[in-house]
Structure 1
Amino acid sequence: MSAPRLLVIQPDPFAPLGPLGDWLTEAGASLDLRMMPDDPLPTSLDEYEAVVVLGGGANAEQDEKHPWLASVRTLLTQAVEQDRTTLCVCLGAQLLAVASGGRVTTGHDGPEVGPALVAKKDAAWIDPLFADLPLMQDVLQFHSDEIAQLPPNAVLLASSPRYPHQAFRLGRRVYAIQFHIETTPEIVRRWAANTRSKAEAVRHAALDDETLTRVHADIAETWRPFAHRFVDLAAGRLAPVQAPPSLPIADG
């Protein structure tokens, strides 16, 4: 398969696909972008090789204000059941967690904002998407909620001392990252200028122009190849993680 088709769900007009979209398309992907709440969502994933769900300002279970969240969670449930190549970012990761039996709550240590590092866990070293990442990866944090409990059978791939559930995998092809890799300095500055719930955290974050420019260059260096590997996984050019061997059933 030369050009896998990706369904991209954007929950928030102020949280665009950004450079991640460029990295996906330059790797050969075809993108079908659906912007919430205006664009309809498909009822099945049969026409897509992969799914990407982006971040946004909603809470993962805020259905009374954003009824379309339930439809996104339904599609993510399908993705897990079908083991379809999937990448969920920030709110997307929280939606995946809730849809799969995990738990999302208000962050126990307050909002997490600004450039940060996350560390690979042991399972990441044998994961086809995460294995080639450095031990400590530059990311951009901007969230108030946390994934307090991972879904059953989730494999933790990246962590940090403050909020441990930074990246996880379900099955062999469904991935979630609590942090951002798709932002630009302009996007982050816009978020910082227009957020109230994270205002105190913003004041203490390193969001000056020089720092944002540097960290986004580091993010691109690390995560652009990751995005290429994601497309390769969707296209069948990269093998998914190997399933653990089945244990023999003891007789008697």
Structure 2
Amino acid sequence: MLQHDPSDPLLLMGDWLTEAGATVDVRRLFAGEELPADLTGYDALISLGGEMGAYDDDVAPWLPATKAMLAAAVAQRTPTLAICLGSQLLAVATGGAVTRGEDGPEIGAYLTAKRDAAEADPLFDALPMTPDVMHYHYDVVSSLPPGAVLLLSSTGYPNQAWRIGPAAWALQFHIEPSADDLRAWGRTEGREAVGRLGPVLDQAEDAMGTVWRDFVARFVRFAAQPADEPHLLGHRLPIHGS
């Protein structure tokens, strides 16, 4: 698991991964910990969020290697989950584009809506039609990578969740923080707990608890599927031993 920012660790998702039977190797890249040389020995790759942008290689000098690893994961069909900044890094690594959101940031509780392709996706099929999410981002994936499949959209920015290849998923939103975690991020920028950071955020947290815990469990099961069994998407993935 790649952590880019001290303020955005696994949070709730850490418990969800453990409950699902995963063992997590956290690389705190912001603290100088190195990326693995390659993905040999790993069943999956997770890339979290952070305050930097996808092109800020001068601010976060580990980003070029991170983008290379994400591109390699897609090429090797290693199950990958990329969240917020992680989704933007995955987009850039595979031929998409990231820009500043023209209509301003998305911060707080929002609704997304499933696209038709989600019904054939092993992680997104079981989601409700309009799942609640939590946002905290200024940049957006403005162009999906070639061949990417759009899975969730919203009335604000359309590219909310997508898949590239058979086993790499990107989420523009956060599923790992609690409502209080998101409000704490807001306080660092002087944002008050009103509007989308008010009571509606607590309601979103309640709605998200089961939905995204189950999503993470499906990701873990997907990653753990033996390499000699056909995948739900009709591909045989090179799942590495943990």
Q: What TM-score results when the alignment is normalised by the length of structure 1?
A: 0.88
What's the CA shift string for 1:12-65, capped at 9, x where partnerless? Answer: 110111111111111110000011222111120011010010111000010111
Q: Secondary structure at the match of 1:95?
A: helix
Are the counterparts in 2 of residues 147 and 165 from structure 1 also a CA contact under 8 Å? yes
**In structure 2, C-alpha distance between the alignment counterparts of 1:65 and 1:31, rounded to whole Å:** 26
The answer to whether the 8 Å contact 1:129/1:229 transfers is yes
Any conservation in 2 of the 1:155–1:168 contact (CA below 8 Å)? yes
Percent identity between the two aligned chains = 45
Question: Which residue does the alignment assign to 2:162?
Answer: 168
Give the distance between the partners of 2:141 and 2:181, measured in 1 at CA: 23
- Report whether the alignment pairs 1:10 with 2:3: yes
Contact between 1:113 and 1:205, CA under 8 Å: does it hold in 2? no
- CA distance in 1: counterparts of 2:46 and 2:195, whole angstroms: 28
- What TM-score, normalized to structure 2? 0.91
Tell me the residue number matched to 1:21: 14
User: In the TM superposition, what is the alpha-carbon distance from 1:212 to its structure 2 partner?
Assistant: 2.8
* Map of 2:24 onto structure 1: 31
Q: Is 1:193 aligned to 2:187, yes or no?
A: yes
Shift of 1:204: 6.4
How many residues are treated as equivalent by the alignment? Answer: 231
- Could you list the structure 1 runs, at least 4 aligned residues long, displaced by more than 4 angstroms after superposition: none
Stretches of structure 2 that go unaligned for 5 or more consecutive residues are 236-242
**Counterpart position of 2:80:** 86
Alpha carbon RMSD of aligned pairs, Å?
A: 1.6
Amino acid at match of 2:232: P
Contact 1:172/1:240 (8 A) holds in 2 = no
Which of 219, 235, 249 does residue 208 from structure 2 map onto? 219
The answer to whether structure 1 residue 144 and structure 2 residue 138 are counterparts is yes
Give 1 or 2 for the bigger CA radius of gyration: 1
Alignment partner of 1:239 is 2:228: no
Q: Distance in 2 between matches of 1:65 and 1:171?
A: 29
Structure 1: tracts of 5 or more residues without a match:
1-7, 244-252
Residue 206 of structure 1, aligned match among 165, 176, 196: 196
Q: Which has the higher strand share?
A: 1
Structure 1 pair 145–204 and aligned structure 2 pair: CA distance change class (3 A): farther
